[in-house]
Each structure stands twice: as structure tokens, then as C-alpha cells.
Amino acid sequence: MKTTGSTFTEISGKQLAKMKIHIPTFQEQQKIGKFFKKLDDSIATHEKELELLQEIKKGFLQKMFV
């Protein structure tokens, strides 16, 4: 690897060809995909819950000052 007048390191084709790249098996890829799907679903659920709670808070604040 070398740097040539830039802020990032360059990898030559020869160096890349020599590198061993480990690719998960199809089964492992499926497990990883399922994990991230569950994570995304959980995040979406919590975001919806947060929005609902923010609306409830907004309603209470409006009632306090009316």
C-alpha cells in the first residue's frame, strides 16, 4: 500500500490479488441478514413509539398552559 499525493492509501491490483478475503457461507449470510432485519424492525418500532410519546408530551404541555 502506498500514498500518492492523496489523503487515502492506495492498494494496487497485485496487492489486492494476493489478499485473502473471507466470505461467509450462504447460511451465515442468511443469519446475518435475519439479524439486521430484526434490528431494523426493532429500530422502526422504537421510532414509532418515540413519535407517539412526543405527541403525548406535546398534548400534556398544551393542556398545562391553556
Q: What is the pLDDT of residues 22-64, one digit of tens each?
A: 999 999 999 999 999 999 999 999 999 999 999 999 999 999 9
The yes-or-no verdict on residue 4 having pLDDT over 70 is: no
Contacts of 1 (CB under 8 A, 6+ apart): 9, 10, 11, 15
**Residue 45 burial class via C-beta count within 10 angstroms: exposed 0-12, middle 13-18, buried 19 and up:** exposed
| pLDDT level of residue 9 (50, 70, 90 thresholds) | confident
Cell of 21: 478475503
Predicted confidence at residue 39, as pLDDT, reads: 99
Predicted confidence at residue 1, as pLDDT, reads: 60
Domain ranges within the chain, ordered by starting residue: 22-64
Three-class DSSP category at 51: helix
Dist. CA 46–CA 43, nearest whole Å: 5
